[in-house]
Every structure is written in structure tokens, then in C-alpha cells.
A = this chain, B = another copy of it.
Amino acid sequence: MAKRQRRGSQRITMGEVARLANVSPSTVSLYLRRPDEVSPQRAEQIQSAIDRLGYLPNTMAGGLASSRSNVIGVLVPTITNSFFSETLETLERHLRSAGYQLLIGNTEFDVSREEELIRSILSWNPAGLVVTGFLHSRSTLSLLARTRTPIVEMWDFGQPGLDMVVGFSHHACGRLIAEHMLTSGRRRTAFVSTNFQRDVRARDRYAGFRDSVEAAGGTVELCELSGRSDASETGKLTRDLLESHPEIEAIACSNDMVALGVLFECQRQNIDIPGRLALAGFGNLDFTRSTVPPLTTIEPPRREIGQHVARLLLASLEDELAEDEKRLDLGVRLVVRESV
């Protein structure tokens, strides 16, 4: 007797509930979906039958019959990143309370993996789809063009987009940091980035930073970290950078974890921040308030993105949205502390 018998799930059906409650299945169905439309007396019978039997509705059967689902697909580059996971958490909370179930996928910054995931999610006949950014493969685009489910592109802003857009401009983030550093008198700068090849948004922040610095006659040295935001690798890279470019007086980082790595290296080498070197991150992660010195950074609207994505999605499921409601630039805030 190998192969556990996992068919015929033996689960209580709506018909059994109906029989016990002495009503028809369709009344049970109605009770479950719109309780007010059945008489109070039957409602009670039905509810007690449900409780007695421990009935759980079969979502698949319901979805098939109504040819619609309570599923919303969400694709992020990685959930192992507090940026996206906080957006996800907020999104989940708002959407679940409206009766939706999230189907989360990790694209790993890979458009062909994104395509695969979208295919898989679309096969669930989702009520909505949320993807990260504007970068999609050709066939993803045609897949998405053909579907009629509402789509939100999040965590970025500044391109046309497929349907709805909720995010902010990463180029503007880079400029914001650059201007702040320029204001404090720094011209010779470096940008230290993790995941530079895969992450378009990190590249956008770099581009914004570079554009502003160069426009002011400054220089920007780009340093790429090979893997993930490994703080120890950052140490070595920082060492090399400051050795080969002793003129550098400011370092902008692609995120706060990278900045933390740079900071520790400076502590080791007794490099004064911000005296000798200005340092800025991105993300406003919790620890940045208490580093020594506290880290200047940018606060991206992580939670707000989740909240507004949920709002737009829910609204578009109800009504057709006006064109000008479909695009939302949430902006960012420069958090000035003591490291610049």
C-alpha cells in the first residue's frame, strides 16, 4: 500500500449541509454569499448545520462556477528584502480584508522567470495582478495585453505603464541625494551598489545621482558589489575604493545595508563621517537612526505603495477608473541625519 490515497477528499459538501438544514443547496449557497437574502430562521438552521458538520466551502468549485476568483497575483523580485516584504505585508492585509487571496511569486529580477510566473498565475483566473516595475519580456507583454484583469505596476514611476502605476521615481532619488551632497560641498563622489546588473531601480538611482553630480561639475565613481548586499564584501570594496581614489569625499549607496558596510569599514579605518567622507543610503531602514553617526538616507513609501495598490485594485474591480486616477507618484523623502 504505497501511494497514499488522496483523492475524493471526503470533505463535507454544500449538499450535505443543505440536507441537514432541510433546505436546497442553492439556499445554502445564497446564505453563504448574501446572508441577508435568506430568512432569519433558515439562516440559523443553515449556520448550525455548517457548524455541526464543520463545513468548509470549496473555493475551486466556487471559482469555476462563477468563473471568477478571489485570487490576486503579486510578483516581486525577492521577498527577502524588507522593501518588498513590507509592501507585500500591507498589500496582503488590505486585500485579504476585502476577501482576496494573494498569490505571491519571486521573479528573482529575471524577466523570463516573471513570464513563467505570470503564466502560472493567469491560469488561476486572477481578479488582479500586481507586478514590480516596468521591465517585462516581449511575451509577458503580449500575455498581459490579452488578459482583461486589472494590472498594477508598482515600485517605479515615470514610464507609461500597462494599466495602473503606483510608485516613485528612482532617478529622482538619486538626484535628491546628489543635491544634498553637493550642497554640503562635495564634488568627488562614488556610488556603491549591490545587485547593479539585475536591479533596474538601483541603476536608475545611480543614473539620477550621476546626472546631478556631473551637471554640477563633479565626478562619480561606480562600484558594483558582486552578490547580495553582503556587508563584509562592502568593507573590502570600500577599502580598495578609498585607496585608489583618495580624493573621494562622498559615497552614495544603493541601499542602507550597503551603507552600513561602508560605515563599519570607516569605523575600522577611523575615517571621520561626515568630516572626511559623507555617506548616504537608501531605504530608511530601522537601524539607520541609531548608527554612529546616524545615517542620512531616503525613505521610500514602502507601506504606502501596498496601501495604494490595494486601493486602486479594489476600485478598478468595482468601477472603471478615470485615466488620471490610474497613475500615482508617491514620491520620497530625504531623511537628513548626520552622515552627510
Residues of A within 8 A of B (CB): 1-4, 6-11, 54, 56-61, 63-64, 66-69, 78-82, 85-86, 88-89, 92-93, 101-104, 106, 119-120, 122-125, 127, 143, 146, 148, 228-232, 234-235, 257, 260-261, 264-265, 267-268, 286-287, 289-292, 316-320
Does the CB pair B68–A9 fall under 8 Å?
Answer: yes
Known: A88-B79, A290-B235. A64 touches B68 (CB 8 A): no
Q: How far is the CA of A61 from the CA of B316 in the complex (A)?
A: 26
**B residues in contact with A64, CB < 8 Å:** 58, 60-61, 64
Q: Count the copies.
A: 2
In the A-B complex, list the 3 residue pairs whose CB atoms are closest, starting with the nearest: A231-B287, A231-B290, A60-B63
Known: A68-B7, A89-B80. A125 touches B58 (CB 8 A): yes
Q: How far is the CA of A60 from the CA of B261 in the complex (A)?
A: 47
Known: A60-B64, A104-B102. A146 touches B54 (CB 8 A): yes
Does the CB pair A2–B319 fall under 8 Å?
Answer: yes
Q: How far is the CA of A231 from the CA of B334 in the complex (A)?
A: 20
**B residues in contact with A106, CB < 8 Å:** 89, 92-93
Closest to A116 in B: B96
Selected from B60, B261, B265, B290, the residue in CB contact (under 8 A) with A234 is B290
**B residues in contact with A127, CB < 8 Å:** 6
Closest to A12 in B: B146
Selected from B9, B146, B230, B267, the residue in CB contact (under 8 A) with A125 is B9
Q: Which of A58, A103, A290 has the most CB of B within 10 A?
A: A290
Selected from B59, B60, B119, B290, the residue in CB contact (under 8 A) with A265 is B290
Q: How far is the CA of A177 from the CA of B225 in the complex (A)?
A: 33
